[in-house]
Amino acid sequence: MVLLGTNEFVGQTEIPTGTYRPRIAAAAELAKSGRVKVAVVSGIEAQTFTMARDLRAAGVTCPIVRDPYGWRTLDSVHRVAASYPGEPVVFVSQGWHCDRALWMADRLQLRACAYPAAFGDGWRPVWGAARDLIAKPKAVWDWLTGSELATAQPPATGNVPAR
């Protein structure tokens, strides 16, 4: 399972983003079903610490691996394909985000499916869905032009077990 990164709070405020808690809940539900061998939390470093901590607090007992170089969805998909070749992958995020991850995974011939999280509360998830209207064409552009990953870190390195 790959939990795609999002921030818990808006900037430096205590205002919840609206996407974070639903993703944690969905990932915890899937992991506790017993169908997950390992949970990869992918995002920027701070997101991976927070997501790993909150998955443990939600009762997830399977191994959790942090991917602190999943700075963009493109990076997360490439990194899971390189780190777990031939393994089936389940992406966890909101549906609009999962669509993009699955499209990218298909380009890499990665066996993948999605476990969509709830849409979230308030207007912030609406902003996320609107942002995705730009991100989807950008994903196609990245694929067509062979865009570099956002990090210079090689795709099969950097995954570290969470405590």
Secondary structure of 37-89 in the HEC alphabet?
CCEEEECEHHHHHHHHHHHHHCCCCCCEEEECECCCHHHHHHHHHHHCCCCCE
**CATH placement of domain 2-161:** 3.40.50
The type of residue at 109 is Q
Instruction: Starting at the earlier edge strand, list the strands of the sheet with 2-4.
Output: 112-117, 89-94, 2-4, 39-42, 64-67, 160-161
Which residue, among 101, 97, 59, 55, has the nearest Cα to 80 in the 3D structure?
Answer: 101
Which of residues 159 and 9 earns the better pLDDT score? 9
Q: Can you give the pTM of this predicted structure?
A: 0.85
Domain parsing of the chain, residue ranges: 2-161
Residue the block writes with tokens 């983003």: 17
pLDDT in tens, 3-52: 999 999 988 888 888 889 999 999 999 999 999 999 999 999 999 999 99
The pLDDT of residue 124 is 57
pLDDT in tens, 36-50: 999 999 999 999 999
Most confident of 23-32, 93-102, 114-123: 23-32
Which residue, among 38, 43, 37, 45, has the nearest Cα to 19 in the 3D structure?
Answer: 43
- What is the average per-residue pLDDT within 76-97? 93
Which of residues 117 and 159 earns the better pLDDT score? 117
The pLDDT of residue 3 is 98
Backbone angles phi, psi at 93, to 5 degrees: -175, -175
CB 55 within 8 A of CB 64: yes
